Structure formats: structure tokens, C-alpha cells
A and B are shown apart, each in its own frame.
Chain A
Amino acid sequence: MAPEDGDRLADLRGFTRDVMRQMEEDLGTRLDWVAGMMAFKGVVLEGLEVAFIVIAVGAGRGLLVPASLGALAACALVLLVGAVVHRPLSRVPENTLKFGVGVMLSAFGVFWTGEGLGVAWPGQDLALLPFAGLFLGAGFLGSLIARRPSMEIVQ
């Protein structure tokens, strides 16, 4: 399939469905199952992260029950928001989503690691904002570096 084949396609949606049907036959399985496994993998990873965070935040201070309840409430909220905005969210490019999540996780990671080491960040939770800004800047700088052609190609 190449861009120049586009003029031979009368109906892209129908063509895509045919390709997917053929893939199901070739793989000998329903694609629903593959999609389910991918979703399961993602949810397991995020679920484990939440469990680690709840234990880290709650266990040391005897606040495991409130932390767990907070995680459950957040889970319900995410499910609700996901159900409402899943269509517009699915149009956001995957790499943009990953970039945003990476910035947030990096900022939270440094913040919490510092707190664990006994660092009293100036501004407390507000320190997360400049951290996110710094990681965002580093991300943009990294993307600029990644876009530059390597020396071998230039030569």
C-alpha cells in the first residue's frame, strides 16, 4: 500500500475493514482479543504504579486506608472522564500523549524522590509546576536533538 495507490480506493473505511478482516483470518484470532490484551497490559502497568504510590504515600504514615480510598475515587473519576471524552482523546496523537505523561511522571518522580530523601521543596506541592516546566523544556530540547541528522548522514 503506497500513497500513490490512493486514487484506486473508492472507500477508505471499507478498505480498512477488509484489511482488518483479512488480518483476523491470517492471525487466526479475533482482533478484539489482541486489543483486549494490549489494553490489559497498559492497565496492569498503571495499576501497579498506583499500588506502589498508594503504599509509598500511605503505609509509612499509617494512612493506607485513606490513600486506598483516594486511589479508588481517582479510578472512578478516570473511568467517568474516559467514558465521556474517549472520542476526542483518541484523536490526540499517541506520541503527544506519551510526551505529556512523560513530563508529568518525571516531575512527580523527582518531587517524590526528593521528599523521600527529606528534601523540603520550596513552595511544597507548587514546586511541581516549575519541575514540569523544566522537564517540558528538556523534552523539547531532546526532540530538537533527535531531529538533527546524525553526523554520518551529513557526511
Chain B
Amino acid sequence: MTMLKEIGAELVAMFLGDARLSLTVLCVVAGAAALIRFADVDPLAAGGLLLVGCLVVLIESVRRSPRL
């Protein structure tokens, strides 16, 4: 059972190395989708926001990570 739990945890860790980063990126994607779907924003503008948002999230994630 312990081994199964470890395998399960490994499988999750393969996709979710950093849960906070994954969640923030999902929020950026959801925000871009909501802008297109509900706010009638030009898809290209929302795409630009998606790109900039991902870049900002990436840099912020590095800035927040502990230094060695």
C-alpha cells in the first residue's frame, strides 16, 4: 500500500512540480478565456495577455523560490 502511495505521489509530482505555479498559470488561462467568452475582448488581445501573464508568472515563481 505504501508503495502504491509512493507511485501515486510520483505520478502527481511528474505533472505538478510546483502546485502554486500550476494553479497560477491555470488562473491566467482561465482569465484569458473569460475575457474572450464573457467580456467580448479581441482574442488576439487576450492572447497577448495570456503570453505576458505566463511570462510574469514564470519570473515571479523564480523570484519567490528559495535560493541555494
A119-B44, A146-B67 given; A41·B10 CB < 8 A: yes
Cβ A145 vs Cβ B59 within 8 A: yes
Cβ B58 vs Cβ A113 within 8 A: no
Cβ B10 vs Cβ A114 within 8 A: no
Closest to A130 in B: B51
CB neighbours (8 Å) of B8 from chain A are none
**Chain B interface bracket (under 10, 10 to 19, 20 to 34, 35 or more):** 20 to 34
Q: What's the Cα separation between A150 and B46 when bound, in Å?
A: 35
Closest to A149 in B: B67
- The 8 A CB mask of B12-53 against A (1 = contact, 0 = none) is 001100000000000001001100100000011011001100
Per the CB 8 Å criterion, the residue count for chain A at the interface is 28
CB neighbours (8 Å) of B51 from chain A are 110, 114, 131, 134
Q: How far is the CB of A27 from chain B (nearest CB, A)?
A: 16
A134-B51, A150-B67 given; A106·B43 CB < 8 A: no
How many contacts A-B (CB < 8 Å)? 64
CB neighbours (8 Å) of A150 from chain B are 66-67
Q: How far is the CB of B58 from chain A (nearest CB, A)?
A: 5
Cβ A135 vs Cβ B47 within 8 A: no
CB neighbours (8 Å) of B10 from chain A are 41
Q: How far is the CB of B50 from chain A (nearest CB, A)?
A: 6
Interface: A138 (CB within 8 A): yes
CB neighbours (8 Å) of B46 from chain A are 117, 119
CB neighbours (8 Å) of A153 from chain B are 67
Cβ A138 vs Cβ B43 within 8 A: no
Q: What's the Cα separation between A146 and B43 when bound, in Å?
A: 34
Cβ A118 vs Cβ B14 within 8 A: no
Cβ A110 vs Cβ B54 within 8 A: yes
Q: What's the Cα separation between A146 and B66 when bound, in Å?
A: 8
Interface: B5 (CB within 8 A): no
Ordered by A's residue number, 10 sampled pairs between the chains whose C-beta atoms are within 8 Å are: A45-B15, A106-B58, A113-B32, A117-B46, A117-B47, A119-B46, A122-B44, A139-B58, A150-B66, A153-B67
